[in-house]
A and B are shown apart, each in its own frame.
Chain A
Amino acid sequence: MSTKSLDSLSAAPRTTATAGTAGRVIAQRTAGSIFVLWAAVTLTFFVLRLTPGDPVTAILGGAGSSPSPETVAAVRAEYGLDQPVLVQYLSYLGGLLRGDFGVSYIFKVPVLEIIGPQILPTLQLAGLALVFAWIIALAFTILTVGRGRVLDGVGRGIEVFFASLPQFWVGIMLAVVFAVTLGWFPVAGNDGFRSLVLPALSLAIPLAGFIAQVTRSSFEEVLAQPFILSARARGLSDTLVRITHALRHAILPGLTLSAWAVGSLVSSAVVAEIIFARPGLGRSLVDAITNRDLPVTLAVVFIIAAVYILVNLVVDVLYRVVDPRTNPKGSAA
Chain B
Amino acid sequence: MSEKLTRRAGITEQQPLLSIDTLNVSFTTPRGTMDVVKDVSLALVPGRALALVGESGSGKTVTARTLVGLNASNAHVTADQLDVLGHDATRLSERQWRGLRGKDIGYVLQDALVSLDPLRTVGQEIDEALRAHGVRGKAERTERVHAALRDAGIPDPEVRAGQRSGELSGGLRQRALIAQATVLNPRLVIADEPTTALDATVQAQILELLGSLKEQGRGLIFISHDLAVVSHLADEIAVMQHGRIVETGRASEVLSNPRHDYTRQLIDAIPSATGKGTRLSAGRRVIVPTRPLRISAVSTEAPALDARNLVKTYPSAGGTVRTVVDNVSFTLPAGKTLGIVGESGSGKSTTARIALGLTEPDSGTVTLGGLPWVGQPDGTGTVSEQIRRPHRPDIQLVNQDPLSSFDPRFSVGRVITDALDAGSVGTPADRKERAAELLGQVGLPLDLIERRPLTLSGGQRQRLAIARALALHPKVLLLDEPVSALDVSIQAQVLDLLADLQEQLGLSYLFISHDLGVIHHVSDDVLVLKDGRVVESGTAQSLFTAPTADYTRNLLAAVPSLPTRATSTALTGGTQ
Q: Is the Cβ of A226 less than 8 Å from the Cβ of B128?
A: no
Q: Is the Cβ of A2 less than 8 Å from the Cβ of B481?
A: yes
Q: Is the Cβ of B352 less than 8 Å from the Cβ of A6?
A: yes
Q: Is the Cβ of B181 less than 8 Å from the Cβ of A5?
A: no
Q: Is there a chain B Cβ closer than 8 Å to A233's Cβ?
A: yes
A267-309: which have CB < 8 Å to B?
none
**Which B residues are CB-close (under 8 A) to A19?**
317
Chain A binding surface, main DSSP class: helix
Q: Is the Cβ of A323 less than 8 Å from the Cβ of B314?
A: no
Q: Is there a chain A Cβ closer than 8 Å to B111's Cβ?
A: yes
**Which A residues are CB-close (under 8 A) to B164?**
324-325, 330
For the complex, what is the distance from the CA of A210 to the CA of B120, rounded to whole Å?
28
Q: Is there a chain A Cβ closer than 8 Å to B208's Cβ?
A: no
Q: Is there a chain A Cβ closer than 8 Å to B149's Cβ?
A: no
| Cβ of B271 to closest chain A Cβ, rounded Å | 16
Q: Is there a chain B Cβ closer than 8 Å to A232's Cβ?
A: yes
A228-265: which have CB < 8 Å to B?
229-237, 240, 244-245, 248-249
**Which A residues are CB-close (under 8 A) to B359?**
10
B382-413: which have CB < 8 Å to A?
397, 399-401, 404
Q: Is there a chain B Cβ closer than 8 Å to A64's Cβ?
A: no
Q: Say yes or no: A10-B101 contact (C-beta < 8 A), given A225-B114, A230-B115.
A: no
For the complex, what is the distance from the CA of A9 to the CA of B177, rounded to whole Å?
23
Q: Is the Cβ of B180 less than 8 Å from the Cβ of A234?
A: yes
Please, which residue of chain A has its CB at the minimum distance from the CB of B190? A233
Q: Is the Cβ of A2 less than 8 Å from the Cβ of B352?
A: no
**Which A residues are CB-close (under 8 A) to B484?**
2-3
Q: Is there a chain B Cβ closer than 8 Å to A1's Cβ?
A: yes
Q: Is the Cβ of A6 less than 8 Å from the Cβ of B166?
A: no
Please, which residue of chain B has its CB at the minimum distance from the CB of A244? B128
Q: Is the Cβ of B167 less than 8 Å from the Cβ of A227?
A: no
Q: Say yes or no: A237-B344 contact (C-beta < 8 A), given A2-B199, A226-B111, A333-B166.
A: no
Q: Is there a chain A Cβ closer than 8 Å to B76's Cβ?
A: no
Residue of A226, A231, A233 near B68 (CB, 8 A) is: A233
For the complex, what is the distance from the CA of A332 to the CA of B159, rounded to whole Å?
13
**Which B residues are CB-close (under 8 A) to A331?**
166-167
Q: Is the Cβ of B166 less than 8 Å from the Cβ of A248?
A: no
Q: Is there a chain B Cβ closer than 8 Å to A24's Cβ?
A: no
Q: Is there a chain B Cβ closer than 8 Å to A322's Cβ?
A: yes
Residue of B101, B128, B317 near A16 (CB, 8 A) is: B317
For the complex, what is the distance from the CA of A331 to the CA of B401, rounded to whole Å?
26
Q: Which of B7-15, B49-57, B102-110, B555-563 contacts A (4 or more CB under 8 A)?
A: B102-110
Residue of B109, B128, B166, B177 near A325 (CB, 8 A) is: B166
**Which A residues are CB-close (under 8 A) to B111?**
226
Q: Is the Cβ of B397 less than 8 Å from the Cβ of A323?
A: no
Q: Is the Cβ of A235 less than 8 Å from the Cβ of B103?
A: yes
Q: Is the Cβ of B114 less than 8 Å from the Cβ of A227?
A: yes
**Which B residues are CB-close (under 8 A) to A232?**
70, 101
Q: Is the Cβ of B107 less than 8 Å from the Cβ of A5?
A: no
Q: Is the Cβ of A3 less than 8 Å from the Cβ of B68?
A: no
Q: Is the Cβ of A234 less than 8 Å from the Cβ of B481?
A: no
Residue of A231, A248, A330 near B128 (CB, 8 A) is: A231
Please, which residue of chain B has its CB at the minimum distance from the CB of A232? B70
Q: Is there a chain A Cβ closer than 8 Å to B259's Cβ?
A: no
Q: Is the Cβ of A13 less than 8 Å from the Cβ of B101?
A: no
**Which A residues are CB-close (under 8 A) to B102?**
233-236
**Which B residues are CB-close (under 8 A) to A4?**
344, 349
Q: Is the Cβ of B316 less than 8 Å from the Cβ of A229?
A: no
Q: Say yes or no: A226-B344 contact (C-beta < 8 A), given A2-B484, A234-B132.
A: no
Q: Is there a chain A Cβ closer than 8 Å to B350's Cβ?
A: yes
Q: Is there a chain B Cβ closer than 8 Å to A17's Cβ?
A: yes
Q: Is the Cβ of B399 less than 8 Å from the Cβ of A6?
A: yes
Q: Is the Cβ of A324 less than 8 Å from the Cβ of B350?
A: no
Scoring A residues 67 to 101 as 1 if CB is less than 8 Å from chain B, else 0, what string do you get? Answer: 00000000000000000000000000000000000
Q: Is there a chain A Cβ closer than 8 Å to B454's Cβ?
A: no
Q: Is there a chain A Cβ closer than 8 Å to B117's Cβ?
A: yes
Scoring B residues 296 to 332 as 1 if CB is less than 8 Å from chain A, else 0, what string do you get? Answer: 0000000000000000001111000010100000000
Residue of A2, A5, A231, A333 near B197 (CB, 8 A) is: A2
Q: Is the Cβ of B70 less than 8 Å from the Cβ of A233?
A: yes
Q: Is the Cβ of B132 less than 8 Å from the Cβ of A324?
A: no
Q: Is the Cβ of A6 less than 8 Å from the Cβ of B353?
A: yes
Q: Is there a chain A Cβ closer than 8 Å to B99's Cβ?
A: yes
Q: Is the Cβ of B133 less than 8 Å from the Cβ of A3?
A: no
| Cβ of A255 to closest chain B Cβ, rounded Å | 13
Residue of B101, B344, B353 near A234 (CB, 8 A) is: B101
Q: Is the Cβ of B116 less than 8 Å from the Cβ of A227?
A: yes
Q: Is the Cβ of B128 less than 8 Å from the Cβ of A5?
A: no
A1-42: which have CB < 8 Å to B?
1-6, 9-10, 13-14, 16-17, 19
Q: Is the Cβ of B133 less than 8 Å from the Cβ of A235?
A: yes
| Cβ of A154 to closest chain B Cβ, rounded Å | 17
**Which A residues are CB-close (under 8 A) to B505?**
none
Please, which residue of chain B has its CB at the minimum distance from the CB of A322? B119
Residue of B120, B181, B197, B404 near A233 (CB, 8 A) is: B181
Q: Is there a chain A Cβ closer than 8 Å to B118's Cβ?
A: yes
Please, which residue of chain A has its CB at the minimum distance from the CB of B115? A226
For the complex, what is the distance from the CA of A10 to the CA of B118, rounded to whole Å?
21
Closest 4 CB pairs of A and B: A233-B107, A13-B314, A235-B102, A234-B102
Q: What are 21 inter-chain pairs, A to B, with CB distance below 8 A?
A: A1-B170, A2-B484, A5-B399, A5-B480, A6-B352, A6-B353, A6-B399, A10-B349, A10-B350, A10-B353, A16-B316, A226-B115, A229-B109, A230-B180, A233-B68, A235-B103, A235-B132, A236-B128, A240-B132, A324-B119, A333-B167
For the complex with contacts A6-B480, A230-B109, A236-B102, 11 further pairs of A-B residues with Cβ separation under 8 Å are A2-B514, A9-B349, A10-B353, A16-B316, A232-B70, A234-B181, A322-B119, A325-B118, A325-B119, A331-B167, A332-B167
Interface residues of B (CB under 8 A from A): 68, 70, 73, 94, 98-103, 105-107, 109-111, 113-120, 125, 128-129, 132-133, 164, 166-168, 170, 177, 180-181, 197-199, 314-317, 322, 324, 343-344, 349-350, 352-353, 359, 397, 399-401, 404, 480-481, 484-485, 514
